[in-house]
Amino acid sequence: MEECKKCLLRESAQEDVYELIKAKIEKLSEKEKSNYDLYSFRLSQCKNCENLISGVCMKCGCYIELRAAFKTQRCPLPYTDKKW
Ligand code: SF4
């Protein structure tokens, strides 16, 4: 499979993995979960980040669609470079 720079998982060819991630996100409680605006903001930041490859952040190794769904998670870049 070709690597897609700047792609979210849901936009790549890894539909089976995306379905698993989606199911995990759906199981999060409202208390754990980012709201729609926060989630959208985070994904837009990742899409413009050089560390995103095929839905995975090269700094933390996470699928960013899952990481961003957790309200308390943060971008792993050093404090001054953090994008969210
Ligand atoms: S470094 Fe931060 S902004 Fe970049 S892909 Fe990872 S989580 Fe997203």
Extents of the domains making up the chain: 9-78
The identity of residue 7, as a single letter, is: C
Exposed, middle or buried by CB within 10 Å (0-12, 13-18, 19+), for 52? buried
- In this prediction the pTM is 0.87
The residue nearest atom 8 of ligand 1, judged by CA position, is 46
Tell me which residue has its CA closest to atom 7 in ligand 1: 75
Cα(53)–Cα(18) distance, integer angstroms = 14
What is the tens place of the pLDDT at every residue in 51-77? 999 899 999 999 999 999 999 999 999
Question: Looking at this protein, which amino acid is placed at residue 82?
Answer: K
